[in-house]
């Protein structure tokens, strides 16, 4: 005779729910970074050029970018508990498929599935917290939940390096399976349930946006790799821009569009998202290029390369406590103009790092990069909500989050493209060839980042003052 466990009380749900959401966020953030230091090992195992593995990173973030806009509607329509279980299930299934992938195309497709699950987990988790806790407790709860978002980038590169050094690289993904099983149980038991009138789904907008982004991502992946001639690549580029232009046209004629572009009429939101997108192109390429520099260019083991990236994440965590006082004193315009230049200069300094560079110098550069990047991200994120109304907050969060994920994906693709360009389109593991190409890539990405700073000239000195003393959204 079986017994059914009694339904959890409201107090039990309030005790366990923050842990459920925190674990989901940790898994999402960890898998966004854990692959970086494993790239050279995975490329050798799959017998493909190292730079081709950029698609393993970009496919995950593209899955996030395409699905984030529909996560809220799906949760309202089918219920928080059910959708949360589906999200964890998708993420776990994607992890399994990644772990058993036989070739690069299968691995890329599996990472898309993983990213789709991850894209739903956090927005749905945030929604569950909103309907469970009163507003007076939300800041405390979100501060608790956000800790794993900071720990994921800290531990991810090092864990990836440790795993590929002592175990098969597939364990990076297979280790998610027991956590996924636990997540399914916790979601079923402690997730609150709510089904509301979600309204009509913007199917046309979703298809136009999703197809356009997928095609554009594919163009960025193959561009410069000589798999297709210039003519077919140009045709694919045009084919990707047509549905994206169609989405802009559709948005202007639809009341409840997938992502309302009318928000770009708000000056501070437009500058934050557009300027942030361009700035992130340079910054987002660094987590992909630095492990190549440390392992292939300088001869470090994967776990050592992971250790060299940890100071950046530690510095970012420390800067979280300092950013709002800095913004309150100097203002968003001054911070963004100066800090963007500092980030660009820091990226360019990595062009001097080689086999003779002392480890202490690399650690110092990593710390400075973490400080500047964290200040930049928080400044841009908080500025995006400075002049949006409460009614626009949800849509603003969706558009800004989607733009962030696209910038990360395009940044990785751009950094790989630039490095491949300086390699002459040929992937080489010989450090005498790869090291100069990486150095030129750092110079180019740094220059791009410096130029992107001019987008913030459109800010007024008092822009962002309304949010300078409030808790900022998570990166």
Of 145 and 159, which is predicted with more confidence?
A: 159
CB atoms within 10 A of CB 389: 9
* Cα distance between residue 118 and residue 141, in whole Å: 20
Q: What is the pLDDT of residue 231?
A: 77
* Cα distance between residue 375 and residue 355, in whole Å: 30
Of 170 and 473, which is predicted with more confidence?
A: 170
Supply the CATH classification number for the domain 1-200.
1.20.1250.20
Question: Is residue 338's pLDDT more than 90?
Answer: yes
Domains in the chain: boundaries: 1-200, 203-257, 263-475
Tokens at residue 369, please?
């990069």
Per residue in 414-458, pLDDT (tens digit) is: 898 898 888 875 555 555 778 899 999 999 999 999 999 999 998
- 3-state SS, residue 111: helix
Mean pLDDT score of the chain, rounded to an integer? Answer: 84
* Cα distance between residue 449 and residue 460, in whole Å: 21
* Cα distance between residue 343 and residue 130, in whole Å: 35
Distance of CA 226 to the CA centre of its chain: 28
- 3-state SS, residue 50: helix
Question: Is residue 245's pLDDT more than 70?
Answer: yes
Question: Is residue 466's pLDDT more than 50?
Answer: yes
Task: Give me the mean pLDDT over the 156-182 stretch.
Answer: 89
Phi, psi torsion values for 362, nearest 5 degrees:
-60, -45
The CATH homologous superfamily of the domain defined by 263-475: MFS general substrate transporter like domains (1.20.1250.20)
Per residue in 379-414, pLDDT (tens digit) is: 888 888 778 776 777 778 788 888 888 888 888 888
Q: What is the pLDDT of residue 357?
A: 92
Domains 1-200 and 263-475 equal at CATH topology level: yes
State the DSSP string of 35-46.
TGGGHHHHHHHH
Task: Give me the mean pLDDT over the 199-223 stretch.
Answer: 85
Of 297 and 394, which is predicted with more confidence?
A: 297
Lowest mean pLDDT among 67-71, 249-253, 462-466: 462-466
Question: Is residue 256's pLDDT more than 70?
Answer: yes
The band of 186, judged by pLDDT with boundaries at 50, 70 and 90, is: confident
Phi, psi torsion values for 389, nearest 5 degrees:
-80, 170
Per residue in 1-33, pLDDT (tens digit) is: 445 566 777 777 787 888 888 888 888 888 878
Would you say 269 and 396 are in contact if contact means Cβ atoms under 8 Å apart? yes
State the DSSP string of 308-324.
HHHHHHHHHHHHTTTHH
Task: Give me the mean pLDDT over the 136-145 stretch.
Answer: 71
Q: What is the pLDDT of residue 74?
A: 85
Alpha helices in 253-301 (DSSP H): 267-292
* Cα distance between residue 113 and residue 371, in whole Å: 33
Lowest mean pLDDT among 188-192, 267-271, 345-349, 446-450: 188-192
> What is the pTM assigned to this prediction?
0.83
| Alpha-carbon torsion angle 223, 224, 230, 235, nearest 10 | 0
Would you say 205 and 251 are in contact if contact means Cβ atoms under 8 Å apart? yes
CB atoms within 10 A of CB 167: 12
* Cα distance between residue 93 and residue 110, in whole Å: 8
């Amino acid at each position: 005779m079986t017994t059914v466990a009694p339904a959890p009380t409201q107090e039990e749900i309030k005790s366990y729910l923050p842990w459920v959401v925190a674990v989901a966020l940790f898994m999402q953030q960890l898998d966004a970074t854990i692959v970086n230091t494993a790239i050279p090992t995975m490329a050798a195992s799959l017998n493909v050029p190292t730079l081709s593995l950029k698609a393993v990173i970009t496919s995950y973030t593209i899955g996030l970018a395409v699905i984030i806009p529909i996560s809220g509607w799906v949760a309202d329509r089918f219920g928080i508990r059910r959708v949360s279980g589906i999200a964890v299930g998708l993420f776990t299934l994607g992890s399994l498929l990644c772990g058993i992938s036989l070739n690069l195309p299968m691995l890329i497709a599996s990472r898309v599935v993983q990213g789709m699950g991850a894209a739903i987990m956090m927005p749905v988790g945030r929604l569950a917290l909103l309907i469970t806790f009163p507003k007076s407790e939300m800041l405390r709860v979100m501060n608790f939940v956000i800790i794993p978002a900071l720990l994921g980038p800290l531990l991810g590169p090092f864990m990836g390096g440790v795993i590929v050094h002592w175990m098969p690289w597939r364990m990076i993904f297979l280790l998610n399976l027991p956590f996924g099983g636990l997540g399914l149980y916790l979601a079923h038991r402690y997730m609150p349930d709510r089904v509301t009138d979600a309204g009509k789904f913007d199917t046309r907008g979703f298809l136009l946006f999703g197809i356009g982004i997928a095609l554009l991502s594919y163009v960025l992946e193959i561009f410069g790799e000589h798999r297709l001639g210039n003519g077919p690549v140009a045709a694919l580029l045009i084919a990707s821009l047509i549905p994206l232009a169609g989405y802009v046209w559709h948005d202007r004629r639809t009341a409840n569009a997938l992502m309302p572009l009318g928000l770009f009429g708000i000056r501070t939101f437009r500058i934050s998202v557009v300027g942030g997108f361009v700035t992130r192109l340079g910054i987002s390429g660094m987590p992909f290029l630095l492990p190549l520099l440390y392992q292939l260019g300088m001869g470090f083991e994967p776990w050592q390369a992971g250790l060299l990236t940890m100071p950046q994440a530690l510095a970012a965590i420390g800067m979280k406590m300092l950013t709002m006082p800095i913004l309150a004193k100097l203002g968003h315009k001054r911070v963004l103009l100066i800090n963007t230049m500092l980030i660009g200069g820091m990226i360019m300094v990595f062009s001097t790092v080689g086999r003779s560079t002392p480890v202490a110098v690399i650690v110092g550069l990593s710390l400075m990069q973490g400080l500047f990047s964290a200040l930049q991200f928080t400044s841009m994120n908080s500025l995006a909500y400075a002049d949006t109304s409460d009614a626009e907050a949800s849509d603003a969060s969706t558009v800004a989050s989607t733009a962030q994920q696209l910038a990360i994906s395009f940044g990785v693709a751009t950094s790989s493209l630039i490095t491949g360009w300086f390699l002459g389109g040929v992937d080489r593991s010989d450090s005498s060839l790869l090291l100069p190409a990486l150095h030129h890539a750092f110079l180019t990405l740094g220059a791009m980042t410096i130029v992107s700073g001019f987008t913030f000239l459109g800010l007024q000195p008092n822009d962002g003052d309304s949010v300078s003393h409030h808790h900022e959204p998570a990166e």
